[in-house]
Amino acid sequence: MDTRIDRFNSRRSTVYGTEGMVATSQPLAAQAGLSILEAGGNAFDAAVATAAVLNVVEPTSTGIGGDVFACFRTAAGELGGLNSSGPAPASATTDRVSDIVGGDDPTMPTHGPLTVTVPGAARGWEWTVEQHGRLTLAEVLQPAIRYAKEGYPVSEVIATYWRFAEDLFETEHAKAAYLIDGRAPRTGELMRLARLGETFEAVAAEGAEVVYEGAIAEAIAAEVQAEGGLLTVDDLARFEPTPVEPESVSYHGVDVFELPPNTQGRIALETLAIAAEAGIDPDTFGSVEYTHTLIEAMKLAFHDGHHHLTDPDHVEVTELLDPAHITDRVGRIDPEGALEVDMLDSLAAEADTVLLCVGDTEGNLVSYINSRFMGFGSGLVAGDTGIALQNRGASFSLDPHHPNHIAPNKRPFHTLIPAMARFDSDDWMAFGVMGGYMQPQGHVQVITNLVDGGMSLQEALDVARWRHQEDGGLAIEARFDTDLIHGLLSRGHDLRVRTPIGFGGAQAVRCEDGILSGATEPRKDGTVAAQ
């Protein structure tokens, strides 16, 4: 008999099913993905349908004007990944962008036309259904088209984020597409995104090519150039998504899979490798010693990632998972004191995005993540298309010695990391935690909660989290254990209590011997839809 009920303290129950499951941050999107499964699609079709609907119902965090990544296991047992992140424009040299920015010590702007990189989502969606789905792109876009044109009531967390757009949007195209008389929609208010619906109809009719070589591509390039940016139609036309092979480490008998650079997946893997090599003891899970070791491993991995991870097509990336390197990092951990390590970039501290996980009756599992980087991205909306363009280029550096310096056709360091875990040959999980630099930290905490803490899937997402911050401080949720707080303070950790909004948004779908289980982030508007 399962005795977990004796210590049940989760904020909701884990969801179970056998025929299909979708976990994501907005109920209408999860239900849309499930409807695609019911219509004969598989997990890959449902993933794209869910991502497209999120573009409509949670436009504050994602969109076709951003990038998409996937980590997946097919029913046939193939483990794979997708990197559909776009590069900087071909003319975006460090010198040219620095000249445009101006000043004695120019830095990349946070928003605006220079931050717009090629949006990879449309071709990523198309690749997903064509390579692994059963339905057409046109079929899986129908729920998004319906919600965009007919409208939907805005949910609570999303309405809160939407208010930031009132200050971000300066162009008439942006205001017309996403504001109501100059203001954000309120919670429960019906919102229509008619222009975006028309764009989705064009993509459904003509394919993703229209975003990269047709009328929509021309609108994107014209908007960016009119505001002083460098993106061209040629930049868009050159883009193709890239299949990638996930990397992995084994942590206490569980294999964890992440995507390779230009993502930050290796930060999560390096953390787990350091913790395992340090001899972190599952029997001490939740103790001061255990938590301190995990935090220190995370800090060291962040330091390495921010000094080395970038686009491997442009810069040779140091092998951070080499056993000798891991042993060296373990030697730097002080059991009684907190390390001071530096990170090169703090921009993604508050970035947000969407993540969705899908499983189907055949055994396909997909972790899918789609983002514009920071909310509505650059603040630009392409003409009358309703496409809000990402500001992923803001994470580039204008220092030519920085590993992530901007260069022609170079992809920026990317925070997006969908993930998979293998507990046994017939026990796999698609998971992830959205939210800038919280993502690898969330991955590590979810895995250790499950593997070392023996938690249920939903409980592993519910428990209070910690977050190493870019200034060296350690953020914790108010629900954190008091004894643990005192123990961490005694080891020199600079603790700050933050609201739950700063600790990411996790989703997970697990398939064990044909039984699907799912969990969703309690800090979001999320849900798990199952059948």
Do residues 177 and 193 touch, judged by C-beta distance below 8 A? yes
Domain ranges of the chain: 25-240+357-395, 244-349+417-512
Q: Which residues are catalytic?
A: 353
3-class DSSP state of 299: helix
Do residues 294 and 271 touch, judged by C-beta distance below 8 A? yes
Do residues 468 and 474 touch, judged by C-beta distance below 8 A? yes
Do residues 302 and 341 touch, judged by C-beta distance below 8 A? yes
Q: How many whole angstroms separate alpha carbon 260 and alpha carbon 125?
A: 20
Q: How many whole angstroms separate alpha carbon 503 and alpha carbon 307?
A: 24
Location of structure tokens 């064009």: 202
Location of structure tokens 């219509």: 39
Note the pLDDT of residue 373. Answer: 93
Which one is the CATH code of 244-349+417-512: 3.40.50.620, 1.10.760.10, 1.10.246.130, 3.40.50.720? 1.10.246.130
Under the banding of pLDDT at 50, 70 and 90, the label for residue 519 is: very high
Under the banding of pLDDT at 50, 70 and 90, the label for residue 349 is: low
This prediction's pTM: 0.95
Under the banding of pLDDT at 50, 70 and 90, the label for residue 67 is: very high
Do residues 273 and 326 touch, judged by C-beta distance below 8 A? yes
Bridge partners for 190 per DSSP: 153
3-class DSSP state of 529: strand
Note the pLDDT of residue 13. Answer: 92
Note the pLDDT of residue 269. Answer: 98
Q: In terms of DSSP H, where are the helices of 61-155?
A: 94-101, 121-132, 137-140, 142-150
User: Does the N-terminal peptide bond of residue 42 adopt cis geometry, omega within 30 degrees of 0?
Assistant: no
- In the sheet where 474-477 sits, what is the strand order? 466-468, 474-477, 495-498
Under the banding of pLDDT at 50, 70 and 90, the label for residue 350 is: low
- CB neighbour burial string for 80-112, b if at least 16 within 10 angstroms, e if fewer: bbbbbbbbbbeebbbeebbeeeeeeeeebbebb
Max avg pLDDT among 179-193, 459-473, 493-507: 179-193
Q: How many whole angstroms separate alpha carbon 32 and alpha carbon 34?
A: 5
Note the pLDDT of residue 436. Answer: 86
Do residues 300 and 332 touch, judged by C-beta distance below 8 A? yes
The DSSP output letter for 467 is E
Task: Report how far apart the first and last C-alpha atoms of the chain are (Å, whole number).
Answer: 24
**Is the confidence at residue 47, as pLDDT, over 70?**
yes
Q: How many whole angstroms separate alpha carbon 191 and alpha carbon 36?
A: 23
**Is the confidence at residue 4, as pLDDT, over 50?**
no
For the chain, the residue count is: 531
Structure tokens at 394: 């803001």
* Residue 405 phi, psi dihedral angles, 5° rounding: -70, 150
**Helix (H), strand (E), coil (C) string for 171-228:** CHHHHHHHCECCECCCCCCEECCHHHHHHHHHHHHHCCHHHHCCHHHHHHHHHHHHCC
Bridge partners for 24 per DSSP: 527
Note the pLDDT of residue 167. Answer: 94
Cα 208 from chain centre: 22
Note the pLDDT of residue 316. Answer: 82
Nearest to 433 by CA among 11, 24, 10: 24
